[in-house]
Chains A and B, each alone.
Chain A
Amino acid sequence: MTTTDDRPTMIEFKDVHKYYGDYHALRGINGTIKAGEFFSLLGPSGCGKTTLLRTIAGFEDISSGVIMIDGKDMASVAANTRPTNMVFQSYAIFPHMSVEENVGFGLRKDPRSKDEKAAAVAEALGMVGLKGFGKRAAHALSGGQRQRVALARALILKPKVLLLDEPLSALDKKMREHMQVELIKLQRQVGITFILVTHDQEEALVMSDRIAVMFDGEIAQLADPETLYRRPATKKVADFIGTMNFIPATILSEAGDKVEIEAKGLGRVALDIAQAPTPAGEDPVVGLRPETLTLLYDDQKAPERETEGVIDEVIYFGDMTYYDVYLGGTDVEVRLSMRNVPGRPVLDVGTKVRVAWSPSALVLFR
């Protein structure tokens, strides 16, 4: 994970609001995106992530607040003069033009000579792995190829910021995973700030330096992928990113930087205050990721804590097995994942097991 804190700010949002009539689409967006960062806007559909991206591009004006790009207020800057370029969800390849006409479209007003422009187009096509595709008709391309053309077309203008609106959602799973890696490599190569909009949390985790998780027009958490995964700020974020078990708990005492709780099925646990994000006024629950729970075989000893349980469900995935386990004779059920390594048989439903866990892996939402 690269640290991005020392880089200069590329984009800054100051209390950005957007209304569509009565509908409040963006509700006070604040935050900064650093130069050269791979930044993702992640959230379910309708959370405002695409709207926010389009306000950066200049396709939507904002109702109030300020958007700065590279230190300049964008309020009076039209979309066609902003230092941003976009890869559209539909790719928006001009169907009546060839690949090279598409890629070179942004160079129409470029004062360079015809040959220099052709060289730039060829270079951009080479960068996205489409060398020699220039003469093809745009409508004869596959989905993956269209996306590469859209990328080359946007990058040829060497924008300060590249905006990507769900660029991988139209591709099949294999192609998507392949393009994720290619996009990361490309971003490192060109060093341009990438802002990706996605509803796919896995994609965001894989690709981003930092992620803003959005719900209902607000940024719920802005953090690097690891922090987001290990220390989600709210229960909603925790639920949206990956799988999280939630166990009802009661708070016994809170003193200094320690919080002591009683979690149903796990017993008394002392947590560090860092494991308890800002209270939201909800009923207290602790969150536990499936991979932080381990089944203990035979006479294995738990390194920290262990709890008894009964297997309720077994879901076999080939490399992994998911177990749903009732904890400590309660009705609390948790999901845990085990790698299927040699000498570790897949257990049956109803088996009594011991589950190892670590207090430091817990997050308390209250």
Chain B
Amino acid sequence: MKKAPILKGYTLFYLLFLYGPILLLPIFAFNDSKVVAFPLKGLTLNWFAEMAADQNLRTAAKNSLIIAFSVSSISTILGIFAARASVRYNFPGKAPIMGMIMLPLVLPEMIVAMALLVVLLSLGIQLSLFTVIVGQVLICTPFAVAILTSAFQSLDRSLEEASLDLGETAVSTFRLIVLPLVMPGIMASFLICFTISFDEFIIANFLGSGKPILSVYIFGQFRFPAKVPSMLALGTVLVLFSIILLGFAEYMRRRGIAKAGGKDSGGLL
């Protein structure tokens, strides 16, 4: 096979461009200097301590966790209904309905956020954590549907029929057969929606009405050069947190497919 040095170089450059900046986060988070620049000055944990002591940051983190937990729960439950319906049942208008559920995946988030803001304000609804949750559910549900559809699809229909045939009801069949077999998909959906919600910025900023939410808070802190290193420390923690969550989600998804005896048709990772 012929070597292609240009392609090799391109690939390397591409990967460096993608991940280089992220690698800088931990480097400067441990750097003993207020200025984010080379050369490095020495090792310190001060920025992590400062981050942990920031009361506003804690409130923002708490709010973000509340939002992320609510969004991932609601999106996953909605996703279960939609995925089950699209895999198992035929009904008039199924294709356009499923298409519209998946549309926010490609719709510019800015437009969704603006449209929601206009509607909420004209309805006189106070902006709050709740309105952020509503907006983010809209964004996360398509991801949940995509993951859960693949989980339900890899479930052989005759398994449910076999359970009915052996005397179980539709409800006990769902509990004994369907739920255990799609549980890894449910977990994966929950975790991915959690991650998406946690670092979502546009809707949090538009619909959050200045409430401290982590992504918005971090952006705000960058105006103050002195705060930047502690934000980099926070970023380092979040990167680790995201990698662990997404890795776990993908592991659950693959395990689910293997368990149901299906074929892997490609996932998010």
Contacts and interface: CB of A to CB of B under 8 A. Distances in A.
Interface in A209-247: none
B97 interface: no
Contacts of A139: 259, 261
Interface stretch (A4-12, A104-112, A310-318, A322-330): A104-112
Interface in B199-227: none
A106 B162 CA distance: 10
B29 to A, nearest CB: 43
B264 interface: no
A219 B234 CA distance: 74
Contacts of B177: 94
B163 interface: yes
A281 B167 CA distance: 49
Nearest to B173: A80
Contacts of A90: 156, 158
Given A95-B260, A96-B259, A106 B158 contact: no
A88 B161 contact: yes
Given A80-B169, A139-B261, A92 B164 contact: no
A157 interface: yes
Interface in A53-83: 57, 59, 78-81
Contacts of B259: 95-96, 139
B165 A57 contact: yes
Interface in B166-191: 166-169, 177, 180-181
Interface in A135-155: 139, 153-154
B159 interface: yes
Contact of B159 (A78, A81, A92): A92
B181 A96 contact: yes
Interface string A173-209: 0000000000000000000000000000000000000
B251 to A, nearest CB: 17
A286 interface: no
B180 A79 contact: no
Contact of B167 (A57, A94, A157): A157
Given A79-B161, A92-B156, A153 B167 contact: no
Contact of B261 (A79, A95, A106, A157): A95
Interface in B132-168: 156, 158-159, 161-168
B158 to A, nearest CB: 4
A92 B162 contact: yes
B162 A86 contact: yes
A89 interface: yes
Contacts, number: 60
Contacts of B166: 80, 85, 105-106, 153-154, 157
A335 to B, nearest CB: 40
Contacts of A92: 156, 158-159, 161-162
Contacts of A78: 164
Given A92-B156, A95-B259, A86 B165 contact: yes
B163 A59 contact: no
Nearest to B161: A59
Interface string B231-269: 000000000000000000000000000011100000000
Contacts of A153: 162, 166
A108 B163 CA distance: 11
B257 to A, nearest CB: 11
B163 A105 contact: yes
A103 B169 CA distance: 18
B166 to A, nearest CB: 4
B6 to A, nearest CB: 46
A107 to B, nearest CB: 9
Nearest to A163: B165
A57 B163 CA distance: 12
Contacts of A94: 159, 162-163, 177
A59 B170 CA distance: 12
Given A95-B260, A139-B261, A79 B164 contact: yes
Interface in A307-354: none
A78, A79, A92 pick with most chain B CB within 10 angstroms: A92
Nearest to B172: A108
Contacts of A79: 161, 164-165
B158 A88 contact: yes
Contacts of B169: 80
Contacts of B158: 88-90, 92
A109 B161 contact: no
B163, B166, B177, B259 pick with most chain A CB within 10 angstroms: B166
B151 to A, nearest CB: 13
A109 B158 CA distance: 21
A215 B218 CA distance: 71
Interface of A: 57, 59, 78-81, 84-86, 88-90, 92, 94-96, 105-106, 108-109, 139, 153-154, 157
Interface of B: 156, 158-159, 161-169, 177, 180-181, 259-261
28 contacts: A59-B161, A59-B164, A59-B165, A79-B161, A79-B165, A80-B165, A80-B166, A80-B167, A80-B168, A84-B165, A86-B162, A88-B158, A88-B162, A89-B158, A90-B156, A92-B156, A92-B159, A95-B181, A95-B259, A95-B261, A96-B181, A106-B167, A109-B167, A139-B261, A153-B162, A153-B166, A154-B165, A157-B167
Closest A-B pairs by Cβ, 4 of them: A106-B166, A92-B162, A92-B158, A88-B158
Given A88-B161, A90-B156, A92-B156, 4 more contacts: A79-B161, A79-B164, A86-B165, A105-B166
